[in-house]
Structure 1
Amino acid sequence: MHRTPARRVAVLAAVAALGLSACGSESAEQPSGGGKVAITVTGQPPSSQAVERRIFDADVAEFEKLNPDIDIVPHEGFMDPKTFSAKLAGGQLEDVYYVYFTDPANIIARRQAADITDHIKDMAVVKQLQPALLDIFKDRNGKVYGLPTANYSMGLLYNRALFSKAGLDPDKPPASWDEVRAAARKISALGNGTIGFAELSKNNQGGWHLVTWAYAMGSQIARQEGGKWTADFNNAKVKQALQLLKDMRWTDNSMGDKQLLEATDVQRLMGAGQLGMYLGAPDNVPVLVKEFKGKYEDYGVAALPGSGTLLGGEGYMINPKASPEKIKAGLKWIDWKYLAADRIEPRIKQYLAENQPIGLPAVPTPDVYTGDTRTKQAELKTQHANVPEKNFASYLDGNTKLKGNLEPPNAQQVYAVLDNVMQGVLTNKDADIDQLLSDAEAKVNSALAQVK
């Protein structure tokens, strides 16, 4: 399941604000009668997402038919910030529950997930998962507490139609930040309210994107020494990124006058054909088409210029109080529903039957594999593609050369602080970058001091 960045950030922000204080929780459902094992699972899309809901419910029915000894009790939603903390504390946590990549470390430390190390030894797909993604669900001793089921990395999303109008080659997107700046100038010169490049700067989304800029420039946001986290972004690399944004905003006038934007704002502009570029993951593209009336052929995604990118994703963990039978059933569901190699083609055909896009990175099959499974996945997506795969080739090729970095500890508090830096640069022509970073450094250090 792929959500728009706006929803993702809002959910993460609220989740981070909740204290995960419980040290365990009882499994919410008892086994069904007749020898069946009943497991509650999160991840059922809301009824407003009709296509995704139909696919999920059909999968539940098929899985139960193939596994008559297991009863799946689906719960709508993913990680609801209004209920997640209460579930943990009140013993109502589902048997199989959804997490973002930012969550497992704290969950493991607080013993809020079952150790599945011995249970996954016979799961063939585990050997085909990218080691770096599986490591997210491990403790310091190498024990495994969950499985990754989706992965994304930030890229440069661009409007191919505007590139052509501005005399730029849409098949050769910018490969450096100087090229991004030059392309933004040409696109904004088209007039009629066209904006070359847009950036987010509120509701924690500006901070989230500034972290992406930092990684692209080769900086980190925080470093850990002797078990203590400290800020690590007040440096020349991040200053370079901010100076570039300041120059694009005030010298080039290629970012438009309206600022304090969030994800839906830039998506609306891009869908309307008024925006040339913004930072985003490929899962933005279906949003542009479905919600803002864009066309798949008009969009491309390139890898971020620079040396790194922000890596994110999601997975599933299991209730620490789940019985061995429930753990076994839960892992069978996670494997079959999200990961099994022999389900890649059926999953693609499900989406085709619903007139959904095939050929986008990570949609509808997750970008979590390596080895033979990854090769098979790529071949099948090419075989069944109904959107132009070439529009995303530079993203896939370029990402192989970039270092993937996870979000910093206490991410949402860090993002809230860094929002102020982005807002300062984009709304104040005379903003002092050194002062903005110095002020932010002190506040981020306070947020990082809370990390245990």
Structure 2
Amino acid sequence: MAGTRSRRSVIAAGIACALTGGLAACGGSPSSGTRDGVVTITVNNMPPKTQPVDRRYFEEDVRAFEKEHPKIRIDAREGQMDPKTFSAKLAGGQLEDVYYVYFTDPAGLIQRRQGADISTYVKDMPYFKDIKPEFLKVFTGPDDKLYGLPNGQYSLGLIYNRDLFKKAGLDPDAPPATWEEVREAAKKISALGEGTVGYADYSKNNQGGWHLTSWVYSMGGDIAVRKDGAWKAAFDSEAGRNSLQMLHDMRWSDNSMGSRQLLQIEDVQKMMGAGKLGMYMAGPDNIPTIVKQFEREYEEYGVAAMPGEATLGGGNGFMFNPRATPEKIKAGIEWVQWKYLNPDRTEFEDKRASGNDVPIGLPLDRLFSGQAQAKQDAAHAKYANVPQGNYKPFVERNAGLEQKVEPPNAQQIYTVLDGVMQAVLTKKDADLDQLLADASKKVDGILATVK
């Protein structure tokens, strides 16, 4: 969801980077390719000048990369993949050789043949075999060929207040792993009184639909499924009903969600920052926002994995211009691996970032398994400035959950599902079956436009 992406960019400040003038000019058309044996590739994802630390770091990285790879030159551009202008840029020869995408983009791009097949070029790529299959799957087409590489990911879980857990007689090192356990913990926290809320959730500005999607996933269901070449709504199901019933019971039977509803992320973060909220659904990247905005301490908060069977995850990565030459694709893969998928540089990056008030050690962007992830974990542990033990419940259990991405036309679907969340949380006698049936019909109409 767009809101999640913007929040993650805040956490990345001081880590993600860009290129200033002097190394490469911005704008114009992509370079033609090879000259005197040197391949020039255009790449996007260059942050704006308003992020000077990022720009400086990226400048250092480009110089280091070009020194190690004297036959490759990087021509960086600001921006990312914009669906509104993408096709025109591709048709006009303006699309970068290596372009940034979100996990919701590759399926459509692959179907429209707007990304290059890189399957034969990654066989000898360092650490390729350690990239988790679920993230490579995002960039894999129906033909089982690979069209891109991940470089970041997030998973929703539960942010919780460890102090309130202790006051309520709960173990902060053993947070809930099922929704029934969440319900029981929320009741105990709410019983503390003084305006304390056990669990809160979003229900407007598309954030309610986003979270209801994760509820349904966690209950073993889907929001949309593709069958016989067409997408159809799938949440009018047992998983959908169980999700709404749990929300209804926590809100109306237990009174553990508080009387104030129609919340969005800023409202819930404020409640957590004020020490009046036990738990809410979010990614680990929410913790620095709460700590910095409300002058709290990292030690006050923990992260648990999503209760249930699956979680809503997302992320980003890079795809390659279908018109790029083999030389440029190979060079692009060299760049993406070296800059974004390189456990050997993690310690250097953590040390560099440690002097810029950047949280190090949050359970984010865990793309690898095996020795590659172990190498990154060791580096993060060395330079950690956050209590990594507080995130152990998330790291250990999240690895075993199915990671599911957003449905197609997600924002339009979320608008519909916002209404479902709002009805359940504001109307005690809401007809759950009718809500699901009506919303399903509307979402079928939205999905009918997906090609």
Alignment check: 8 A CA contact 1:113 1:318 kept = yes
1:78–1:147 CA distance, 2 compared to 1 (3 A): same
Q: Is contact 1:5–1:284 with CA below 8 Å preserved after alignment?
A: no
Amino acid at match of 1:343: R
Contact residue 344 and residue 375 of structure 2 kept, 8 A: no
Cα distance in 2, alignment partners of residues 99 and 139 from structure 1:
15
Counterpart residue identity of residue 431, structure 1 = A
Paired AA for residue 316 in structure 1:
F
Which of 272, 275, 286 lines up with 2:274 in the alignment? 272
Task: Identify if the C-alpha distance between structure 1 residues 64 and 101 changes in structure 2 by more than 3 Å, giving closer, same or farther.
Answer: same
> Could you tell me which residue of structure 1 aligns to residue 412 of structure 2?
413
The match for 2:149 is: 147
**Does residue 1:392 correspond to 2:394, yes or no?**
no
SS at match of 1:378: helix
Residue identity opposite 1:424 in structure 2: A
- Mapped to 2, the partners of 1:68 and 1:152 lie a distance apart of 34
- The offset of 1:339, in angstroms, is 0.4
SS in 2 for 1:287: helix
- Using a 3 Å threshold, how does the CA distance of structure 1 residues 373 and 74 change in structure 2: closer, same or farther? same
Q: What's the secondary structure of 2:406's corresponding residue?
A: coil
Is 1:297 aligned with 2:296? no
Q: Structure 1 residues 8 and 137 mapped into 2: Cα distance closer, same or farther (>3 Å)?
A: farther
**Ranges in structure 1 where 5+ consecutive residues have no aligned partner:** 11-25
CA distance in 1 between partners of 2:31 and 2:397 (Å):
46
Q: Offset of 1:344 from its aligned partner?
A: 2.2
Q: Which residue of 2 aligns with 1:377?
A: 376
Question: Secondary structure of 1:344's partner?
Answer: helix
Tell whether 2:358 aligns with 1:356.
yes
Asked if structure 2 preserves the Cα contact closer than 8 Å seen for 1:3 and 1:283, the reply is no
Deviating more after overlay: 84-93 vs 123-132: 84-93
Per-residue CA distance 1:210-233 (angstroms, 9 max, x = gap): 111011111122223222222221
Preserved CA contact (<8 Å) 1:87 1:93? yes
Which of these residues, 177, 180, 187, is aligned with residue 178 of structure 1? 180
1:106 — aligned with what?
A: 108
Alignment correspondent of 1:19 = none
Aligned residue in 1 for 2:59: 57
The secondary structure found in structure 2 opposite 1:269 is helix
Measure the CA separation in 2 of the matches of 1:418 and 1:44. Answer: 34
- Contact 1:27-1:321 at 8 Å conserved across structures: no
C-alpha displacement of 1:411: 2.2
Asked if 1:404 is matched to 2:403, the reply is: yes
Preserved CA contact (<8 Å) 1:27 1:319: no
Q: Tell me which moved more, 107-116 or 86-95.
A: 86-95
> 1:168 is aligned with what amino acid?
L
Match of 1:232 in 2: 234
Render the CA deviation track for 1:284-308: whole Å, top value 9, x for unaligned: 2222223443321111110112111
Give the 4+ runs in structure 1 shifted more than 6 A. none
Superposition map of 1:248-263 within 5 A = 248-263=250-265
Q: Residue 68 of structure 1: CA displacement?
A: 3.4
Is it true that 1:341 corresponds to 2:348 in the alignment? Answer: no
Amino acid in the other structure paired with 1:443 = K
In 2, Cα distance between the equivalents of 1:56 and 1:122?
A: 25
Letter paired with 2:435? L
1:209 counterpart residue number: 211
For the residues of structure 1 that align with 2:263 and 2:59, how far apart are their CA atoms?
36
**Letter of the structure 2 residue corresponding to residue 447 of structure 1:** I
Give 3-state SS (helix, strand or coil) of 2:315's partner.
strand
Distance 1:387 1:49 in 2: 23
RMSD, matched Cα? 2.6
1:139-176 Cα shifts (integer Å, max 9, x gaps): 12222111011122211111112222333221121222
**Percentage identity across paired residues of the two chains:** 55
Under a length normalisation based on structure 1, what TM-score does the superposition of the two structures give? 0.88
Identify unmatched segments of 5+ residues in structure 2: 10-27
Structure 1: how far apart are the matches of 2:358 and 2:7?
Answer: 21
